[in-house]
Amino acid sequence: MSYLILKHLHIGCVVLSGTGFLLRGLLMLADSRWLQQPIVRILPHVVDTVLLGSAIAMAVISAQYPFSTDWLTAKLLGLLIYIGCGSMALKRARSKPQRAAYLVAALLAFAWIVSVALNRNRLGFLASLV
């Protein structure tokens, strides 16, 4: 599979993953029963698996890896923050205000990861503040 195809697949999965996370966060805040639907519970795992697989394949093809390329290291660290905040937002935080705060934090981390990828700058959107 060519790098360009993988890149487009990756970008599509980023859009689906981010949109799906926002939707699940809003459904959680609304106490919606939709969160219990199988498609809402399973599809994010499928999308995120394809997202991760395409990222790994692009790294191998381009020979650019986290810990050797600063912006990829920043994306990886941002991903860990996003996963942690997202987990707190959707499952682990005890109160709705806490969940809402973690949801906002996860969305900011997501936006920062995207800005790092677009600019190939480890500071992402924070670069304009420096």
Domain count, the chain: 2
Q: What is the pLDDT of residues 53-92, one digit of tens each?
A: 999 999 999 999 999 999 999 999 999 999 999 999 999 9
| pLDDT number for residue 42 | 97
Residues 27/33, Cβ–Cβ less than 8 Å: no
Residue 2 φ/ψ, nearest 5 degrees: -75, 160
Q: Are residues 105 and 92 in the same domain?
A: yes
Give the structural domain span for 119. 66-130
Q: Are residues 84 and 35 in the same domain?
A: no
Extract the tokens encoding 86. Answer: 């997202």
Which amino acid type is present at position 123?
A: L
Which of the listed residues 10, 37, 63 is the one where a domain comes to its end? 63
* E-assigned strand segments in the chain: none
Q: Are residues 70 and 130 in the same domain?
A: yes
Cα–Cα distance between 44 and 24 in angstroms, integer?
10
| pLDDT number for residue 10 | 98
Q: Are residues 81 and 114 in the same domain?
A: yes
Verdict on whether the full-model pTM lies above 0.75: yes
Q: Are residues 6 and 46 in the same domain?
A: yes
Q: Are residues 59 and 71 in the same domain?
A: no
Q: Are residues 3 and 32 in the same domain?
A: yes
Range 5-19 average pLDDT: 98
Q: Are residues 50 and 88 in the same domain?
A: no
Q: Are residues 76 and 96 in the same domain?
A: yes
